[in-house]
Structure 1
C-alpha cells in the first residue's frame, strides 16, 4: 500500500470493518504490541526492515492504525513525532520503489504528452540540452498535474517555481513527492485528532502501546530531550490560548459565569500549566507539583481576575465559589487546601469542544486553528508545538520531523 489515507485504504476500512472505530476495536485481536512496534523500532538504525516494507493491504492498515490508536493518548508529543517520522519514511520508500503516486490521497493526474505546448516543454524540460544525463532529464520532466486550488493548499514556495496552465500546476516527480509528503502529514494529524473522540472507548491495548511508544520515543529523541528538556510544565502562553478561553478570561455575563470560570478556565489553566501530558486518567495535582505555589501565584490569580471581570463579578456575587474552584482542581470543597488534600475530588479535565458548544455556545467562536480540534487543551498544545518548531529551525532533522512541544493531551468526553 502506497498511502494509508488513499482511496484503497478508505475502501478497506469501510467495507471490511465498517469504519475506523470498528477497526480499532478489532485490531488488538490481530496485532500484537511487538508487531505494531516493529513499524517504529528501526528508526534509529535508519534501515527499514524488508518485512515492514512488504506489508500490504489489511495487514498494513492494521499495524498503522494500531499506532494511530495509541496516539489518541498523546497528540503533539514525541510519540506522535516518532510514529509520523517512521511511517512517512516507510510510505516514501514504497512510492520510490513503485515509481508512481497513483493511488495516494493526493489527487494527482498523469500529464498527457500533448497537453503542454511543445515550446514550453522544450524550455521547462531542457530537451535540447544534450549535455544533461538521463537522470537529470528525468528530474526535469513534468509528470503530474494538480488542480491549482489543491496545489495552493500545500505549496509554500513561489509560484515562479511551477508551471501553471488552465487551472493546473504541472509538477516534476520531486515536486509531486514533496506535495504528497505535506498531504500525508496533514492527513496524519487530522486522523489523530479525530481519534481523540473515542479515546475513552478504546481497549487497554492502546494505552499499553502508547506507553511502549513513549519508551522508544524518549530513547530516539534522547539528545534533544537532554538539550531542551521535555516541556511537561511551563509558563502559560496567553497569546496561544483558544478563542473560548480568551472569551472566558475577558469576563462573561451572569448566565455563563460558573461554566466559563469554574468549569472551563479552572481546568484549562491548571492542566496547561501543571500537567499538559497527564500520565494517566486519574492524575492528581500532587502527582505533578511539590507545592501549591504555582496554583496560588500563577493560576488562581488569573481565575479570580477573570471572575472579577464578569458582570456581575463572580466572587463578589458568589464568594463561596472559590471552594468550587478548589473542588474542580481535585482538593475537595475547601478554601484552605493542602497538597495532601489533592485527590479528595476529581481534577476535572477541560471539557471537549462539543460539550462547550452544547453547554455554553456563546464561548465557542472558532478560528481557523480550531479545525479538527476536539479539546481546548489540544488547541493550545498544537500552537505550542508549532511555535517551538518555528523558533528552533536549526533543530529540525534532515527527515523534516519538526520540533515537538514534548507534551500530549487526552481529550475527555
Structure 2
C-alpha cells in the first residue's frame, strides 16, 4: 500500500472491515504485538526490512492501524513521534520505488508534455545542459501538478521554489514527496486525535502495544529526551491553553458560570496539571499524586479566582459550589476532602469540543491550533509537544512551521 490514508485504504476500511471501530476490534486476532512492533523496531538500524516494504495491502493496513490504536493512549508523545517517523519513511520509500504519487491522499496529477511552455521547461529543467547526468535530469523534471489552493494547505516552503501557471503548481518528484509527507503528518495526527476519544473502548492489546512502543521510543530518543520535556505532570502553561479555557479563566456571565468553571475548568486544569496523558478515564487523583497540596495550592485557587471573576461572582452567589468542585475532582460531595476520598465520585474528564459547542457555544472561539482537535486536553498536549519538539531540535519556529501549512 502506498498511502494508508489514500482512497484504496479508505475503501478497504469501509468495505472489507465495516469501518474503523470494527477494524480495531479484529486487529488483535490477526496481528501479534511483536508483528506490529516490527514496523518501528528497525529504526534502530535505520534500514527498513524488505519484508515490511513488500507487505500486502491488507496486512499493511492491519499492522499500521494496530500502531495507531496504541497511540490512542498517548496522542502527543515520543511514542507518536516514533510511529510517525518510521511509517513516513516506510511509505516514502514505497512511493520512490513505485515512481508515482498519484492515488495517494493528495490531489496530484501527472503533467502532460504540452502543458508547460517549452521556454519555461528549458529554464526549469535545464534541458540544454548536456553535461547533466540522467539522474539529475530526472530530478529536475516537473512530473506533477496540483491546484494552487491545495498546495497552500500543505506547502511549508517558499512559493519561489514552485513553478505556478494558470492556477496550478507544478512539482518535481522530490517536491511531490515533500508535499505527501506533510499530508501524511496531518492525516496521522488527525487519526490519532480521533482514536483518543475511543481509547476506553479498545482491547487491552493496544495498551500492551503502547507500553512496548514506549520502550523503543525511550531508547531511540534517549539523547533528545534530555532536552525535550514530556507530557507528564508539570507546572501549568497558561499560554498554551485552548481558547475555551482562557475564556473561562477570564470569568463569564451568570448563564455560563457553572459549566465554564465547574465542568470545563475544573476537569481541564486538574488533568493538565496532574495527569495530562491518563492511560484510562477511570483514573483517580490519588493514582497521580501522594498528597493534595498540588490540588489545594495550584489548581483550586485558579478555579476560585476564575469563579470570582464571573458576573456575579460564582462562589459568593453559590458558596456550595466549592463542594461541587471537589465532587468533579472525584472526592465526593465535600469541602474537606482527604486523599483517601479520591474515587468516591468520578474524576470528570474534560468535555469534548462538540459538547462544549452544544452546551456553551460562547466558550468556543477556535484559533489556528484548534484544527483537527476534538478535546481541550489534546489541544494542550499538542501545544506542549510542538514546543518541546522545537526546543529539542533547536528550532524555535517549529510550532509555527507545523501550523503554517
TM-score in terms of structure 2 length: 0.93
Could you tell me which residue of structure 2 aligns to residue 322 of structure 1? Answer: 322
Classify 1:29/1:229 alpha carbon distance in 2 versus 1 (closer, same or farther; 3 Å): same
Q: 2:77–2:231: 8 Å Cα contact kept in structure 1?
A: no
Superposed counterparts of 1:13-412, under 5 Å: 13-394=13-394
What's the CA shift for 1:153? 1.1
How far the C-alpha of 1:296 sits from its partner, in A, is 2.0
What SS class does the counterpart of residue 104 from structure 1 fall into? coil
Q: CA separation in 2, counterparts of 1:299 and 1:128?
A: 69
Contact 1:392 1:403 in 2 (8 A): no
Q: Distance in 2 between matches of 1:255 and 1:178?
A: 49
CA distance in 2, matches of 1:116, 1:187: 31
For 1:4-53, what per-residue CA distance to the aligned partner results, in whole angstroms no more than 9, with x for missing partners? 11111111111111221221122122112111111111111111122111
Tell me by how many angstroms 1:342 deviates.
Answer: 2.6
Offset of 1:197 from its aligned partner? Answer: 3.2
For each residue in 1:193-226, what CA deviation from the matched residue of structure 2 results, as whole angstroms up to 9, or x when unmatched? 2223332322222222222222222222222224
| Alpha-carbon distance between aligned partners in 2 of 1:131 and 1:314, rounded to the nearest angstrom | 78
Greater shift after overlay, 260-269 or 25-34? 25-34
Bigger shift: residues 198-207 or 81-90? 198-207
Q: Which has the higher contact order (CA 8 A, sep 6+)?
A: 1
Instruction: Report the more deviating stretch, 295-304 or 281-290.
Output: 281-290
In structure 2, C-alpha distance between the alignment counterparts of 1:130 and 1:66, rounded to whole Å: 50
| C-alpha RMSD of matched pairs (Å) | 2.2
CA distance in structure 1 between the aligned counterparts of 2:19 and 2:231, rounded to whole angstroms: 35
Q: Secondary structure at the match of 1:394?
A: coil
Q: Which residue of structure 2 aligns with residue 410 of structure 1?
A: none
Alpha carbons 1:257, 1:310 under 8 Å: kept: yes
259-268 vs 366-375, greater mean Cα deviation: 366-375
C-alpha separation between the residues in 2 aligned to 1:19 and 1:7?
14
Shift of 1:231: 4.0
Number of aligned residue pairs: 400
Equivalent position of 1:409 in the other structure: none
Partner SS for 2:86:
helix
Residue by residue over 1:362-403, the C-alpha shift from the partner in whole angstroms, topping out at 9 and shown as x without a partner, is 32233332222111101111122222233443379xxx9x99
Per-residue deviation, 1:106: 1.4
Counterparts of 2:395 and 2:168, CA distance in 1: 35
- C-alpha distance in 1 between matches for 2:401 and 2:295: 28
For residues 226 and 252 of structure 1, what CA distance do their matches in structure 2 show?
A: 41
Task: Give the Cα–Cα distance (whole angstroms) in 2 for the partners of residues 333 and 198 of structure 1.
Answer: 29
C-alpha distance in 2 between matches for 1:208 and 1:289: 24
Gaps of 5+ in 1: 405-413
CA distance in 1, matches of 2:72, 2:135: 43
Over residues 80-113 of structure 1, what are the superposed CA-to-partner deviations in whole Å (9 max), with x where a residue is unaligned? 1111011001111111211211221111111111
| Counterpart contact for 1:3–1:91, Cα < 8 Å | yes
Q: What is the distance in 1 between the residues matched to 2:222 and 2:391?
A: 20
Cα separation, 1, equivalents of 2:17 and 2:358: 31
Q: Distance in 2 between matches of 1:175 and 1:272?
A: 39
For 1:166 and 1:323, the matched residues in 2 are separated by 64
SS of corresponding position for 2:219: helix
Q: TM-score, normalised by structure 1?
A: 0.91
- The answer to whether the Cα contact below 8 Å between 2:284 and 2:343 also exists between their aligned partners in 1 is yes
CA contact (8 A) 2:228 2:389 kept: no
Q: Post-superposition shift, 1:229? A: 4.7
Runs of 5+ consecutive residues of structure 2 not aligned to the other structure: none
The Cα of 1:293 is off from its aligned counterpart by 2.5
Change (3 A) 1:214 1:114: same
Provide the rounded CA distance (Å) in 1 between the counterparts of 2:31 and 2:231.
Answer: 32
Give deviations 1:148-198, integer Å, cap 9, x for gaps: 111111112222211111111111111111111111111111111222333
